[in-house]
């Protein structure tokens, strides 16, 4: 087995057009949440969204204009991560490099546009059979993986994981395993999501899990672990990392941004949406055990922290159970307070921010935590970032509808 290093990272998120902008905004406690666009607000005037800080198509070759928005996000993040890692298209060992993607609802924009066109065609007494021939390739869940593997000529396995909010965390974990166990030498891992569309937002609204607008400051409406929390805000974007065996990275003298060293995963097998503490604890303990770390070795944990009534209380209890006495010294934050919930992309975006926090010794806050829920009694880094911290290892949690729990551990690689 080999060590698995992080040699590149990228992001396009509500907080910034790249990973450095995103991290700087997170440290500044800037909340990128606002009222939904008119096409959504006409039906859901109270709904909030966290749109990406940049239009992905503006950062890509014009030939990418026809791709689904989630695929465009994926390409932007992958371009940054691969550039960061110094990996160009068509590498000599292309068969040893895989593409691992996590996405919750692939092709949401294409599907919404398809039904909007169908409705309009029927209203106009037109022929609904005339539909764009690329509709299926655009909406298929593995469209992003296909686009990245084709653009970079990567011939290793091209996998897509759709595990709701844990999708891209699973993608990181599975790529980590494949490299650690010698099936691959490197992988591009991407999480992407783009479903700020009328159809998707109507569906999410029906679940009654969306945050209500804050009367004083709409941007501060998502309040994980706070007494007055009311739910999450959907965001969009993508993040990417390049994972590489230590041998491959050393052979080309590529510096590492960290090492992925622990991956825990479990399933609640109990309820479609309600979380289970027992299995969250299992995932965290598995990740720690695989990393060979004790709870006290982790200094920062990026919580799933969705700001739902049940989710935050259960996760707090789970962290306490997994970390024991070390929970008192653990800094925990939910960056969803700022960038919203990117569903399939949330796990990897939060992992990227966590690795950057580890390297910078600066912890992004739970920016909107003015008054904590007494049941959520950990150090949630309230309101402002914490600087000059010694961070040698981080954990990132992703807990999904459907009961999938994933915890990832990374440590410094100096």
Partner 1 sequence: MLEDIVKSYLIDNKGKDPALFDNPDLLVSELKLDSLDMVEMLFEIEDRCGFQLPDPMRYAQMHFSAMLADIEQAIREHNNGELPAFDLQATSH
Stretch that binds partner 1, among 25-33, 127-135, 168-176, 394-402 (CB under 8 A): 127-135
CA dihedral of residues 35, 41, 44, 49 (deg, nearest 10):
-30
Interface of this chain with partner 1, residues 280 to 309, rule: CB under 8 A: none
Work out whether 134 is an interface residue with partner 1 (CB under 8 A).
yes
**Min separation Cβ 117 and partner 1, Å:** 6
**β-pair partners for 35:** 48
In this structure, are strands 234-235 and 300-302 parallel, antiparallel, or unpaired? unpaired
Work out whether 126 is an interface residue with partner 1 (CB under 8 A).
yes
Q: Which is nearer to partner 1, 118 or 255 (CB)?
A: 118
Check if 304 is active-site: yes
The single residue among 2, 55, 66, 412 that binds partner 1, judged by CB under 8 A, is: 66
The binding track of 325-364 with respect to partner 1, each residue x by CB under 8 A or -, is ----------------------------------------
**Min separation Cβ 122 and partner 1, Å:** 13
Work out whether 119 is an interface residue with partner 1 (CB under 8 A).
no
Q: Which among 2, 6, 31, 3 has a CA at the least distance from the CA of 396?
A: 6
H/E segment holding residue 260: strand 258-267
d(CA 73, CA 349): 12
How many contiguous H segments (helices) and E segments (strands) does the chain have? 13, 13
d(CA 243, CA 87): 11
**Min separation Cβ 67 and partner 1, Å:** 11
d(CA 342, CA 209): 14
d(CA 398, CA 191): 13
Work out whether 151 is an interface residue with partner 1 (CB under 8 A).
no
The 3-state DSSP class for residue 60 equals coil
Stretch that binds partner 1, among 84-92, 122-130, 147-155, 353-361 (CB under 8 A): 122-130
- Rounded (5°) CA angle 397-261-95: 105
Work out whether 127 is an interface residue with partner 1 (CB under 8 A).
yes
Options 265, 339, 341, 413, the catalytic residue: 341
Stretch that binds partner 1, among 23-31, 123-131, 243-251, 256-264 (CB under 8 A): 123-131
Stretch that binds partner 1, among 130-138, 240-248, 263-271, 381-389 (CB under 8 A): 130-138
Work out whether 61 is an interface residue with partner 1 (CB under 8 A).
no
The single residue among 58, 92, 130, 390 that binds partner 1, judged by CB under 8 A, is: 130
Work out whether 129 is an interface residue with partner 1 (CB under 8 A).
yes
Work out whether 39 is an interface residue with partner 1 (CB under 8 A).
no
Interface of this chain with partner 1, residues 81 to 100, rule: CB under 8 A: none
Check if 341 is active-site: yes
Options 31, 222, 261, 304, the catalytic residue: 304
Q: Angle between the 69-85 and 143-152 helix axes, to the nearest 10 degrees? A: 40
**Min separation Cβ 134 and partner 1, Å:** 7
Cα-flanking dihedrals φ and ψ of residue 13, to 5°? -140, 175
Contacts of 215 (CB under 8 A, 6+ apart): none
**Min separation Cβ 167 and partner 1, Å:** 27
Q: Which is nearer to partner 1, 115 or 294 (CB)?
A: 115
Residue-wise DSSP of 152-174: HT--S-EEEE--GGGHHHHHHHH
Work out whether 133 is an interface residue with partner 1 (CB under 8 A).
yes
How would you label 126-144 residue by residue, b for 16+ Cβ within 10 Å and e otherwise? eeeeeeeeebebbbbbbbb
**Min separation Cβ 127 and partner 1, Å:** 5
How many chain residues are in contact with partner 1, going by CB under 8 A? Answer: 11
The single residue among 20, 117, 155, 412 that binds partner 1, judged by CB under 8 A, is: 117
- CA distances from residue 47 to 219, 295, 370 in whole angstroms, order as listed: 12, 39, 22
- CA distances from residue 212 to 101, 158, 178, 307, 383 in whole angstroms, order as listed: 31, 39, 42, 11, 19
Options 165, 222, 261, 376, the catalytic residue: 165
Cα-flanking dihedrals φ and ψ of residue 45, to 5°? -65, -20
Interface residues toward partner 1, by CB under 8 A: 63, 66, 117, 126-127, 129-130, 132-134, 137
Catalytic annotation, residues: 165, 304, 341
């Amino acid at each position: 087995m080999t060590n698995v290093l992080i040699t590149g990272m990228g992001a396009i998120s509500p907080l910034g057009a790249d990973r450095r902008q995103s991290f700087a905004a997170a440290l500044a406690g800037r909340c990128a949440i606002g009222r939904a666009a008119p096409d959504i607000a006409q039906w859901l005037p109270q709904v909030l969204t966290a749109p990406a800080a940049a239009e992905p198509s503006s950062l890509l070759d014009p030939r990418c204009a026809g791709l689904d928005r989630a695929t465009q996000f994926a390409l932007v993040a992958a371009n940054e991560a691969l550039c960061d890692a110094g990996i160009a298209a068509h590498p000599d060992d292309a068969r040893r490099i895989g593409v691992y993607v996590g996405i919750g609802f692939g092709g949401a924009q294409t599907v919404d546009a398809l039904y909007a066109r169908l409705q309009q065609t029927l209203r106009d007494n037109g022929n609904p059979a005339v539909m764009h021939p690329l509709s299926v390739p655009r909406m298929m869940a593995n469209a992003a993986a296909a686009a990245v593997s084709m653009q970079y000529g990567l011939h290793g396995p091209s996998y897509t994981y759709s595990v709701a909010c844990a999708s891209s965390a699973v993608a990181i974990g599975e790529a980590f395993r494949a490299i650690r166990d010698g099936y691959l030498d490197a992988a591009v891992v991407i999480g992407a999501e783009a479903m700020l569309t009328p159809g998707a937002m109507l569906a999410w609204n029906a679940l009654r899990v969306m945050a209500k607008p804050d009367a004083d400051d709409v941007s501060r409406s998502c309040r994980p672990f706070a007494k007055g929390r009311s739910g999450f805000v959907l965001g969009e974007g993508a993040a990417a990392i390049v994972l590489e065996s230590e041998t491959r990275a050393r052979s080309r003298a590529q510096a590492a941004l960290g090492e992925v060293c622990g991956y825990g995963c479990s399933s609640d097998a109990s309820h479609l949406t309600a979380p289970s503490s027992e299995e969250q604890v299992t995932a965290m303990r598995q990740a720690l055990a695989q990393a060979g770390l004790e709870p006290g070795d982790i200094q920062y944990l990026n919580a799933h922290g969705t700001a739902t009534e049940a989710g935050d209380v259960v996760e707090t209890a789970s962290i306490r159970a997994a970390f024991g006495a070390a929970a008192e010294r653990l800094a925990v934050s939910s960056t969803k307070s700022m960038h919203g919930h990117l569903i399939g992309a949330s796990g990897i975006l939060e992992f990227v921010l966590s690795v950057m926090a580890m390297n910078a010794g600066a912890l992004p806050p739970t920016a909107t935590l003015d008054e904590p829920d007494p049941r959520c009694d950990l150090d949630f880094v309230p309101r402002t970032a914490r600087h000059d911290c010694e961070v040698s290892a981080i954990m990132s949690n992703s807990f999904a509808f459907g009961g999938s729990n994933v915890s990832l551990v990374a440590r410094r690689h100096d």
